[in-house]
Chain A
Amino acid sequence: MGRNKLDINHRLDYLSILDENGVAVPSLEPDIDEELHLKMYRFMLLGRLFDERMLALQRQGRIGTFPPISGQEAAQIGSVALLKKSDWFVPSFRETAAELMRGRSMENVLLYYNGYNEGTIIPPDQKDLPMSVPVASQILHAVGIGWAAGYRNSGEVVMTFFGDGATSEGDFHEGLNCASVYNTPVVFICQNNQWAISVPIARQTHSTTLVQKALAYDMAGIQVDGNDILAVYSATREAVERARRGDGPTLIECVTYRVMMHTTADDPKKYRSQDEVESWRARDPLTRYRTYLLNKSILTPEKQERLEREINDQIEKAVATAELKMKDLGDPLDMFDHLYQSLSPELQEQKKNLATYLETAHPVTGGEDHG
């Protein structure tokens, strides 16, 4: 009887290893070999350069609306680098860098942002879900996949991505709840980039942090400097190991910043100051990691230059391939495919009607925008 303190585990850490000048706390430096360092750096750089190229393409009218990822490369690459090929990756819609590291081709990304369904094709050996646009809804899929992995005793780990806005959605809370109830091997990566379009984190939640939401579900949680790839990597490694051991899910809050617009259809000048953006640019994850690698002599100015050239060539090749491919993807009748395993008689008729109409009244020109 009486009024006593409840015994609830409320230990949450904040982890930061690499400072803004690219200097690491030696005792916390994760054990990463040179090859992996260079691989992670390559995909961070690719994420950034591809973003910049896509922005240019969008401004030229060569692709449609897309959500840039710049500033969030460390949060994406430092986490996804921990997944094995046999693990599952369940993205939201602002994970281009992570998707590329998982093996999605740039051609597919370009096809997708040009409005072709073919852009979401997942390679047959890849256990990844396609981008999910409705905010937070994919979180429950990750939990279901984790449940199935447990049922099949497959040893697979599931990693799902979402932003700060997603933590206001019911599916986020339901997902964390179920993941804990069923002890599923899921790693929840929250990229807290401070803005959900125009709504800042302070108006998204009254909580001091997002990671504290893990406490309500008795789930392991850690907040990290999301622009510090070493911190993201270390925290994610712990979480993936925990999941693999069967010790349950983890919520990782990566504190980062969306330095670009929400999508190319958005103008952030309407709702946030340039000073704020500049203060975050000073904490740029790519620059920080580059300095660290240069200091360690894992990267050299020559290697950096060569890498940048290689990546730019790769991007140009992808743009050319995608633009060529689009010329062959004009058949509108394809839109009836893949809704069901087999087309119902009614759908067959609708497809036939369109075919007849196109033949008689509106010949297909292929690959062009009829709008």
Chain B
Amino acid sequence: MARMTMVEALNLALRQEMERDDSVILLGQDIGLDGGVFRVTDKLIEQFGDSRVVDTPLAEASIIGMAVGMAVHGLRPVCEIQFSGFAYENFHQLENHAARMRWRTRGRLTVPMVMRAPYGGGVRALEHHAESREAYWAHTPGLKVVVPSGPRNARALLASAIRDPDPVIFYEAKALYRAFREEVPETEELIPLGVSQVARPGKDLTIISYGAMLRHAIEAAEELSNQDRIEAEVIDLLTLSPLDDTLMARSIEKTGRCVVVHEAPRSYGPAAEISARIMEKSFYYLEAPIERVTGYDIIIPYFSREKHYIPHSGRIVHAARKCLNI
């Protein structure tokens, strides 16, 4: 076991999947000698050459559109879109084709590909480099959406995403890239897509989150424990689509109270879907309205003000106390 940052853990997943299967091809801007702007593909070109670590022209639709063709031919392209804020340039290739090819051909042609993209704020970046629009992809039938919350699950989820038979959007919180290290085993570790996990057990309240917000949720849970003697259970979704609503239902049947946390804008955001699922599955267990702690329905401000936009443990604790009638 080595202690790795999320960048190093993702690099490990890519390297091992490429060693395992020569149909895994990396595509993206500056992913070759430069190793990607966040260095996720660092040194992979030395091991696999430029026929498998492919620097592309500066054109997002080219990356995803070509990946669709490559996948139809039998390859497993893993695309890096440099920032998710540029993925609208390739939105049509995912919505119109990657997500539909299996369906359109009744299972004859499939698109086992991954689009990796950094998302979210918190790193003092410029406009278009800080947003969270995972709901776009989660709203598209035919795609899967995965958002890891730390080095170890990032590595295991990326390996699963690459082996998945369907197109996967893999959102990497750039605030987590080098935020902390975790033990990551060298040996194979997979987390199945569509399965969420309990990140912190508790009995009084359920906090549901994912990605960069998970750490804030856990921090809030610790604060509630220390200050209010409230034990919050924190659920790490890991996959947004398909959404695992079994684990959250089980938790809410125990706690009766729920706070959902994400960085994405509030309206029509993931918390809206999560709240609806809880209403459908666990309405009679609820003892208080579900609270949402999210980004606001505005463009994330330039970084001097972003700390007021991005949810943090203070806002989560505040919402939890409201939910608990404290």
Interface positions of A (Cβ within 8 A of B): 88, 90, 117-118, 120-122, 124, 129-130, 132-134, 137-149, 151-152, 170-171, 174-175, 177-178, 181, 337-341, 344-347
| A171 / chain B contacts, CB cutoff of 8 Å | 61, 65
Contact call A337/B109, Cβ cutoff below 8 A: no
| A142 / chain B contacts, CB cutoff of 8 Å | 69
| A178 / chain B contacts, CB cutoff of 8 Å | 56-57, 59, 62, 66
Contact call B57/A130, Cβ cutoff below 8 A: no
Contact string against A for B residues 158-169, beta-carbon threshold 8 Å, 1 for contact and 0 otherwise: 000000011000
| B75 / chain A contacts, CB cutoff of 8 Å | 148, 151
Contact call B59/A177, Cβ cutoff below 8 A: yes
Contact call A140/B106, Cβ cutoff below 8 A: no
Contact call B69/A144, Cβ cutoff below 8 A: yes
Contact call A341/B102, Cβ cutoff below 8 A: yes
Known contacts A122-B109, A137-B92, A340-B102: does B65 contact A144 (CB below 8 Å)?
Answer: yes
Contact string against A for B residues 21-60, beta-carbon threshold 8 Å, 1 for contact and 0 otherwise: 0000100000000000000000000000001000011010
Contact call A341/B73, Cβ cutoff below 8 A: no
- B95–chain A nearest beta-carbon distance, Å: 9
Q: A120-B105, A144-B70, A144-B77 are in contact. List 8 more A-B contacts (CB 8 A).
A: A117-B104, A121-B106, A140-B61, A144-B71, A145-B70, A178-B56, A344-B194, A346-B245
Contact call B66/A147, Cβ cutoff below 8 A: yes
What are 15 A-B pairs with beta-carbon distances under 8 A? A129-B109, A134-B92, A137-B93, A140-B66, A140-B93, A143-B65, A144-B72, A148-B70, A151-B25, A177-B57, A177-B62, A337-B106, A338-B107, A341-B166, A347-B242
B103 at the A/B interface (Cβ < 8 Å)?
Answer: yes
- B314–chain A nearest beta-carbon distance, Å: 34
B184 at the A/B interface (Cβ < 8 Å)?
Answer: no
CA distance A159 to B109 in the complex (A): 17
Q: Which residue of A lies closest to B74 (CB)?
A: A148
Contact call B105/A174, Cβ cutoff below 8 A: no
CA distance A177 to B63 in the complex (A): 12
Contact call A174/B61, Cβ cutoff below 8 A: yes
CA distance A142 to B65 in the complex (A): 9
| B68 / chain A contacts, CB cutoff of 8 Å | 140-141, 144
| B267 / chain A contacts, CB cutoff of 8 Å | none
Instruction: Pick the most buried of A122, A170, A340, A344: most chain B CB atoms within 10 A of its CB.
Output: A340
* Dominant SS among interface residues on chain A: helix
| A341 / chain B contacts, CB cutoff of 8 Å | 102, 110, 165-166
| A134 / chain B contacts, CB cutoff of 8 Å | 92, 96
Partner of A148, one of B69, B102, B110, B141: B69
Q: Which 8 A-B pairs have the closest CB atoms?
A: A144-B69, A140-B65, A344-B242, A148-B73, A144-B66, A141-B69, A145-B69, A341-B165
Known contacts A132-B97, A144-B68, A147-B66: does B92 contact A121 (CB below 8 Å)?
Answer: no
Contact call B56/A140, Cβ cutoff below 8 A: no
B117 at the A/B interface (Cβ < 8 Å)?
Answer: no
Contact call A181/B93, Cβ cutoff below 8 A: no
- B290–chain A nearest beta-carbon distance, Å: 19
CA distance A175 to B109 in the complex (A): 21
Known contacts A137-B96, A148-B73: does B65 contact A174 (CB below 8 Å)?
Answer: yes
Contact call A339/B141, Cβ cutoff below 8 A: yes
B246 at the A/B interface (Cβ < 8 Å)?
Answer: yes
CA distance A122 to B102 in the complex (A): 11
Contact call B242/A146, Cβ cutoff below 8 A: no
Partner of A174, one of B59, B67, B142, B242: B59
| B72 / chain A contacts, CB cutoff of 8 Å | 129, 141, 144-145
| B142 / chain A contacts, CB cutoff of 8 Å | 339-340
